[in-house]
Structure 1
Amino acid sequence: MKYVSTRGARNLGSFCDVLLLGLAPDGGLAMPESIPTLSPDEVEALRGLSYPELAYAVMRPFITDIPGDDLKRLLEQTYRAEVFGSPEITPLTPLGDSGLYLLELSNGPSLAFKDMAMQFLGQVFEYVLETRNERLNILGATSGDTGSAAEYAMLGKARVNVFMLSPHGRMSAFQQAQMFSLREPNIFNIAVQGVFDDCQDLVKAVNADAEFKERFEIGAVNSINWARVLAQAVYYFKGYFALGLPAGAEADFCVPSGNFGNVFAGHLARAMGLPIGQLVVASNENDVLHEFFTTGTYHVRPAARVAMTSSPSMDIGKASNFERYLYLITGGSGTQTLSWWQEVGEGRPVSLAGTPHWDTVKASRFAAGRSTHADRLSTIREVDTEFGRLIDPHTADGVFVARPHQRVGVPMVCLETALPIKFEDTVKEAVGRSPERPTKFGGIETLERQFTVLDNDVDALKAFVAGKLAEQR
């Protein structure tokens, strides 16, 4: 399998090449030349596989440059009960007889769904770098959960440094503590004076400097990294099979989404042949995705208009992975995708309404909704009261948006995105008590924190990275 850029560049190489690449040289995102499809019988043949076996079956067509036995070993090392709490890895829990289900994705080391892909990245980065005798300096941006998931996955990885940008003062206290309390020689936390989109733009700006990127061996773990999207597609298959539906029967999925990576993984699984009906995108007050899927206009929010909400991991005004979706609806036209993304970069809205591309969007069976702080609180309270299940505010966004999109006789799977302890203040506001806290995280907010505050300035960031790497030599 070879990879290309969403903006037209060809021959990006194979999986291991794009794993280490981050952004393509033209600023686009890596995509496979084609998406392998499974027949209904081939999909059914996957039913009953263990999680590592299922991951191998789903991912192998996209990863042809790692020997099969090695890939199986990496997946077995990644998806273990000791890491994720149970052999199921992603248990499926019905919410009574409501027709709603929670797909539990937050039982990994950092208590967020990002672990599902990031733990694999930690294994495969180490494997590829050792095979090639190379090093990698990961530059990433987080709105809350990617950072801790990446840092936990890269602990002790001798060939990897992590430089993680986060918006200063805009994460929960627990999220900050998870990242900033780590005192590892290969982990560098950078709090940027700005919002998540500023952090994301800084990462892209550094990647766009080809000379700097090559000289300092810069890579990425954000959902711009294809390996993350691919790994996330696996749990859609796992969740679907756990429903026990007859062969070919549809299931709908609702996904809290800010950067579009998690829900795009569902779109990938559906394109491969998994019988997913609707993919429902749940937004908070930062509703750029909701606006697109309901009006046909994609209008990026500048930093000043990105609201600070009680589901902060979705406080995003520009969804990076949305570029992959636009690329697919064009039929793989890098020229058209580049044109649209140039408009986005200039702050102009892109409107597809009334065009053939909008017909393609509508045919792709996406739906969308948004929720507010009050909606989150009431949903957390209702799910706790009705079903005895405490959920975090992002998962509450999903449950709230899912309900009006339910179809009679069709299960609706809501993707859990984090354990409620990561957002203790909001959950306590909703139900009047603190959520259960895993023992290993007792008192984490009181630990000494180590981080550096930087202005929203790419030159300052480059100087910081270069300085820290010089100190290691």
Structure 2
Amino acid sequence: MYYISTRGNVGQIGFIDAFLMGLADDGGLLVPGDIPIISEAVLKSWENLSFQELMLEIFSYYTNGEIPEEDLKAMVYASYGRFRAPEVTPVRRLKDGLHLLELFHGPTFAFKDIALQLMGELYSYVAQKQNRKIHILGATSGDTGASAIEGVKGKEGIKICILHPHQKVSKVQELQMTTVQEDNVLNLSVHGNFDDCQRIIKELFADIDYKTSRHLAAINSINFVRILAQTVYYFYAYFQVRKGAEYRTVDFSVPTGNFGDIFAGYLAKRMGLPVGKLILATNENNILERFVKEGVYRPGTFQSTYSPSMDIQVASNFERYLYYVLDEDAQAVASLMNQFKHEGGITIGEETLRRVQRDFAAHGVEGEECLATIRKYKDETGYLLDPHSACGVAAAERCEGASDICVSLATAHPAKFDEAIRLCGIEQEFPEQIAKLFDRPQRQTIVDGTKEAIVEELNRFYA
């Protein structure tokens, strides 16, 4: 297995080099040279594996043997040792034909923990084995930052800086990042929105001299290892809902803003998992819904919503999907991304759109529908959905699937978004780990949303 860029100007590189490169040096995204195809016989042999065992099996197709088996096993079991559910990602039946994949049992109560706890272990491993500095730089719409910080705080040889949009994340999300007091952590609260933070991050990673001199490493979903780790729970969920039954397709409904989580599902499907429709749930920032329905990818006007982790207009993982739907034509991808950069949008042809619609359905869940879904399921089932998970469930209800079962991804614990829960007239009890955050001092630096202001802070921190 080797890795290449979606834009075609990065030679074949190995797993660890791909992990460390993050964003490809030509500005594209790294993808496997060939996606491994898992046979039905192998799938059946995986049916009863634990989450950790399944992750080791899937990673074995991608790591090239660059990490000794026992070392990778130790990292995997360390990563999920602090999860509150022994299954790591349990599946709950919500009603006939609809299940929830609970992804919020990690230390920061969000799905980002699944990948980022492992990536923290892996960064620490590489730093020690190669005796190198690793300076992690990332942007967050709320959950990535806390998970990434939790994964590497206090670890020798690693510093982490996270940018988040000032006053545009939930209070709990902010506290999870800014109450961490370790000296290897810097939080920059940036005037602007998440797209501004993400754009600056990409510009810094595209500056190869700066990236190299500052030992930058990526924690966002531009890093393929994060996508790969998230692919595991699609397999795990499938085995839970089809265990002992005929191998038929399962639909997945995925709340998404950056296209990373749903691309992990697409990767699982390409690997041979019997996935029917991938239902893309967005909010008012619905650029991805419009792409699936009309073939037009063009940012609109940014809106703050009840589901702030999806308040994203420019989806950084979209380019990976574009690469595959264009038959792995790197030149075509590079041309379209250049067009997007200069013209602010792209449009695909009718045949390509039909291919998109064979894989995806989409629904933009606006504010009142999101809150109504929270109220409905609390009243009818007693289950409390967070606003992002509610978008996933609402989209599952509204979109026509291809299977008799849909698994909707529950991406965060409702305690992280109490602002929306209270608007539903619901009072919830916070888990102890979250309740304690409100008594801790915060540490963050508020900066202008300019590249120059952020570079000044980075140079001081990474010196």
Rate the CA distance shift 1:409–1:208 in 2: closer, same or farther, 3 A.
closer
1:313 aligns with 2:309: yes
Q: In the alignment, what sits opposite 1:357?
A: 352
Q: In the alignment, what sits opposite 1:95?
A: 94
Q: Is the 8 A contact 1:51 1:79 kept in 2?
A: no
Unpaired runs of 5+ in structure 1?
Answer: none
Q: In the alignment, what sits opposite 2:166?
A: 168
Q: In the alignment, what sits opposite 1:231?
A: 229
Q: Is the 8 A contact 2:10 2:25 kept in 1?
A: no
Distance 1:381 1:128 in 2: 46
Q: Is the 8 A contact 1:371 1:401 kept in 2?
A: yes
Cα deviation for residue 244 of structure 1 reads: 2.9
Cα deviation for residue 155 of structure 1 reads: 1.6
CA shift digits 1:203-250 (9 cap, x unpaired): 011111111111110111000011100000000001011103524211
Q: In the alignment, what sits opposite 1:466?
A: 459
Distance 1:296 1:441 in 2: 41
Q: In the alignment, what sits opposite 1:429?
A: 423
Say which SS state the counterpart of residue 105 (structure 2) adopts: coil
Amino acid across the alignment from 2:404 = V
Cα deviation for residue 407 of structure 1 reads: 4.7
Distance 1:428 1:348 in 2: 37
User: Where do residues 15-414 of structure 1 align in structure 2 (5 Å cutoff)?
Assistant: 15-64=15-64, 65-80=66-81, 83-97=82-96, 99-245=97-243, 246-301=245-300, 305-354=301-350, 356-363=351-358, 365-405=359-399, 407=401, 410-414=404-408
Q: In the alignment, what sits opposite 1:440?
A: 433
Cα deviation for residue 445 of structure 1 reads: 2.9
Rate the CA distance shift 1:247–1:133 in 2: closer, same or farther, 3 A.
farther
Cα deviation for residue 15 of structure 1 reads: 1.0
Cα deviation for residue 429 of structure 1 reads: 1.3
Q: Is the 8 A contact 2:363 2:398 kept in 1?
A: no
Distance 2:209 2:348 in 1: 36
Amino acid across the alignment from 2:393 = V
Say which SS state the counterpart of residue 28 (structure 2) adopts: coil
Distance 2:332 2:321 in 1: 12
Distance 1:406 1:235 in 2: 23
Cα deviation for residue 85 of structure 1 reads: 1.3
Distance 1:256 1:58 in 2: 24
Cα deviation for residue 452 of structure 1 reads: 0.8
Distance 1:454 1:408 in 2: 47
Distance 2:108 2:63 in 1: 26
Amino acid across the alignment from 1:439 = E
Distance 2:452 2:85 in 1: 45
Amino acid across the alignment from 2:142 = G
Say which SS state the counterpart of residue 166 (structure 1) adopts: strand
Q: Is the 8 A contact 2:258 2:317 kept in 1?
A: yes
Cα deviation for residue 459 of structure 1 reads: 2.0
Question: Taking every aligned residue pair, what percent have the same amino acid on both sides?
Answer: 39
Cα deviation for residue 39 of structure 1 reads: 1.1
Say which SS state the counterpart of residue 87 (structure 1) adopts: coil
Distance 1:271 1:167 in 2: 34
Q: Which moved more, 1:435-444 or 1:110-119?
A: 435-444
Q: Is the 8 A contact 1:173 1:445 kept in 2?
A: no
Say which SS state the counterpart of residue 285 (structure 2) adopts: coil
Cα deviation for residue 71 of structure 1 reads: 1.6
1:415 aligns with 2:409: yes
Amino acid across the alignment from 1:450 = R
Distance 1:231 1:376 in 2: 28
Q: Is the 8 A contact 2:10 2:24 kept in 1?
A: no
Q: Is the 8 A contact 2:80 2:106 kept in 1?
A: no
Distance 1:426 1:384 in 2: 14
Cα deviation for residue 58 of structure 1 reads: 1.2
Say which SS state the counterpart of residue 243 (structure 1) adopts: helix
Distance 2:79 2:34 in 1: 27
Matching residue within 416, 429, 443 for 1:450: 443
Q: Is the 8 A contact 1:12 1:24 kept in 2?
A: no
Distance 1:37 1:408 in 2: 22
Say which SS state the counterpart of residue 219 (structure 1) adopts: strand
Say which SS state the counterpart of residue 413 (structure 1) adopts: strand
Distance 2:100 2:121 in 1: 27
Q: Is the 8 A contact 1:300 1:344 kept in 2?
A: no
CA shift digits 1:56-77 (9 cap, x unpaired): 1112111112122222222122
Q: Is the 8 A contact 2:37 2:270 kept in 1?
A: yes
Amino acid across the alignment from 1:9 = N
Q: Is the 8 A contact 1:250 1:277 kept in 2?
A: yes
Q: Is the 8 A contact 2:103 2:111 kept in 1?
A: yes
Cα deviation for residue 344 of structure 1 reads: 1.5
Say which SS state the counterpart of residue 94 (structure 1) adopts: strand
CA shift digits 1:72-110 (9 cap, x unpaired): 222122223xx111221111000133x111100001000
Say which SS state the counterpart of residue 103 (structure 1) adopts: strand
Q: Is the 8 A contact 2:94 2:100 kept in 1?
A: yes
Distance 2:401 2:214 in 1: 51
Q: Is the 8 A contact 1:177 1:449 kept in 2?
A: yes
Q: Is the 8 A contact 1:44 1:247 kept in 2?
A: no
Distance 1:445 1:194 in 2: 25
Cα deviation for residue 192 of structure 1 reads: 1.0
